[in-house]
Amino acid sequence: MYIFSTIVKSYLKDVLRSTFCVGKFKLKACNMITLISNIECYCPKYAGQRDILLVGDKIYKIGKPDSFREYAKVADFVPGNGLLAFPGILDGHVHITGGGGEAGFISRIAEIDIQDIIQAGITTVVGLLGADHLTRSLTGLLAKAKALEAQGITTYLYVGSYAVPIITFTSSITGDMVLIDKVIGVGEIAISDHRSSHPRMKELLQVATQAHLGGLISGKAGIVHFHVGDGKAGMGPLVELADASDLPIEQFVPTHVNRNPRLFQQALDYCRLGGYIDLTSGEEAGIKVPDAIQMLMENQVDLQKVTISSDANGSVPEGGIGEIQTLYDDIVECITGKQIPVETAFGMVTENVAKQLTLFPQKGVLSEGSDADILITDSDFTLRRLYGKGKLLINT
């Protein structure tokens, strides 16, 4: 009883009393304390063998093996010998309500399923609309995001779609960002694409300014997320916008930049200017992610400005549907096929994304006080366990 009393006092000192389950057996049953012991940690920086103590939805402590032995009797004890721990993956571009529809009604793509998300090691997604903002809606997007969050992951949204003017909840981009918790930016606005509304520079600047102001007031990223197509202009409109604006270049994030070699070269130059670039996993017609990362490293590009997303449940240029599993598969291929350092590869889907979206250090890192989003694999990077905000989502 003395040990348990000590634990309770420590918990109450650091965590809100209202979330505490009273009583030893009730505490264990609701998994309020989890001890992952002697696991090899990539935070995503390599940290060696560590014990990780979860209390509620947070990482409470990280220490050397056997640092938290006194918690073992009341914790859900997870032996980590031979296993690897990473932050849960963030996917910044997911058509959670489905995309497609560009080849007629029969080509509409279904909503994403929570099992597909968690089986890919993903604990945070950003949902968005694409070309179809008529039969898909922002209200449907918000409802789906809330449903996914109720199933254990964290969700955010971009307002808008391919087209300008931007569709919003409140008739104001700034208003959406300030008043709706899940809205963290605008996107995906299409440029250099036959499906684009071909917005003028003044229109794009107005959108970016409203997003920036909304970000300042709400403490959010204020990202403007750009779909870049195969059109002749390539990254040109985005470079022009960055040159014409007094806003930080990090606010303008182009995606699908590995769709062809010409666009990828432009993206490389854009990254050198200080901007973020977002690669799309599962790319077959253009440059595959592992090849793109290798090329970026050879050109000494700052990989902290590079993120990777799946475009899951959206339509892909060569036909078919974007699959969320390709995000995890491409990361593993970077490590096993291209010998890219483990912490570098996982950093592009964890820490880099969290910093881009101003969610760091709540997300994207294994650190005391961060959300308990933890991906656990074996030495071959096969998924074994996944925690979303302290809740066990997968156990194989």
SS3 per-residue string spanning 150-214 = HCCCEEEEEECCCCCCCCCCCCCHHHHHHHCCCEEEEEEEEECCCCCCCCCHHHHHHHHHHHHHH
By residue count, the chain amounts to 396
pLDDT of residue 23 exceeding 50: no
pLDDT tens across 45-56, in order? 999 999 999 999
Half-sphere CA count of 236, side-chain side, radius 13 A: 11
Q: Which residue's structure tokens are 């030893």?
A: 24
Same domain, 74 and 192: no
Predicted confidence band of residue 318 (pLDDT cuts 50, 70, 90): low
Do 261 and 284 reside in the same domain of the chain? yes
Q: Is residue 307 part of a domain?
A: yes
Q: Is 122 helix (H, G, I), strand (E, B) or coil?
A: strand
Position 106 scores a pLDDT of 87
25 shares its domain with 94: no
Residue 329, domain member (yes or no)? yes
Contacts for 374 with CB less than 8 Å, ≥ 6 apart: 36, 52, 54, 59, 85, 86, 87, 88, 366, 385, 386, 387
- Residues 126, 264 share a domain: yes
Residue 172 lies in a domain: yes
Of 131, 69, 72, 68, nearest to 104 (Cα)? 131
User: Each residue of 250-271: pLDDT tens digit?
Assistant: 999 999 999 999 999 999 999 9
The answer to the question of residue 55 being in a domain is: yes
CB 127 within 8 A of CB 157: yes
Both 24 and 109 in a single domain?
A: no
Q: Does 8 or 74 have the greater pLDDT score?
A: 74
Q: Which two tokens stand for residue 300?
A: 């000494």
What are the structure tokens assigned to 49, written together?
A: 């063998």
Can you give the C-alpha Rg of the chain in angstroms? Answer: 21
Where helices occur in 299-385 by DSSP H, the ranges are: 325-338, 342-347, 351-356
Tell me: do 198 and 75 sit in the same domain: no
| Residues 125 and 12 grouped into a single domain | no
Instruction: Give the C-alpha separation, 119 to 393, whole Å.
Output: 9
pLDDT exceeds cutoff 50 at 87: yes
> What is d(CA 264, CA 269) in angstroms, rounded to the nearest whole number?
9
Confirm if 141 and 180 have CB atoms less than 8 A apart.
Answer: no
Q: Closest by alpha carbon to 15, among 36, 32, 39?
A: 32
Answer yes or no: do 257 and 279 share one domain. yes
If asked whether residues 325 and 177 sit together in one domain, one would say yes
| Sequential DSSP letters for 209-229 | HHHHHHHHHHTS--EEEEEE-
Residue 1 has pLDDT above 70, yes or no: no
CATH number of the domain within which 294 lies: 3.20.20.140
| Cβ–Cβ under 8 Å, residues 274 and 303 | no
Q: Is the separation of the CB atoms in 388 and 373 below 8 Å?
A: yes
Q: Which of 91, 132, 278, 311 is catalytic?
A: 311
Yes or no: say if 222 and 212 are a contact pair by the CB < 8 Å rule.
Answer: yes
Q: Can 329 be counted among the known catalytic residues?
A: no
215 shares its domain with 345: yes
DSSP 38-53: EEEEESSSEEEEEEEE
Q: Is residue 33 part of a domain?
A: yes
Q: Does residue 254 have a cis peptide bond before it, meaning omega lies within 30 degrees of 0?
A: no
**What's this model's pTM, rounded to 2 decimal places?**
0.91
- Residue 325's SS3 state is helix
Residue 9 has pLDDT above 50, yes or no: no
Specify if 133 maps to a domain: yes
Question: Is the previous residue joined to 44 through a cis bond, with omega within 30 degrees of 0?
Answer: yes
Number of domains in the chain: 2
Report the relative pairing of strands 391-395 and 383-388 from DSSP bridges: antiparallel
- Is 361 contained in some domain? no
Q: Answer yes or no: do 76 and 111 share one domain.
A: no
Digit-coded pLDDT (tens) for 100-155: 877 888 889 999 999 999 999 999 999 999 999 999 999 999 999 999 999 999 99
Residues 179 and 233 in one domain: yes
Residue-number span of the structural domain to which 134 is assigned: 89-356
**pLDDT for residue 74:** 87
Q: Has residue 256 been placed in a domain?
A: yes
Domain of residue 56, CATH code: 2.30.40.10
Is pLDDT at 25 greater than 60 in this prediction? Answer: no
- DSSP state, 158? E
Q: Are 369 and 324 in contact (CB under 8 A)?
A: no
Nearest CA to 286 among 229, 225, 237, 346? 229
| Mean pLDDT over each residue of the chain, to the nearest integer | 91
Angle at 61 between CA 55 and CA 62, to 5 degrees: 130
Q: Across residues 232-247, what is the average pLDDT?
A: 93
Between residues 394 and 21, the one the model is more confident about = 394
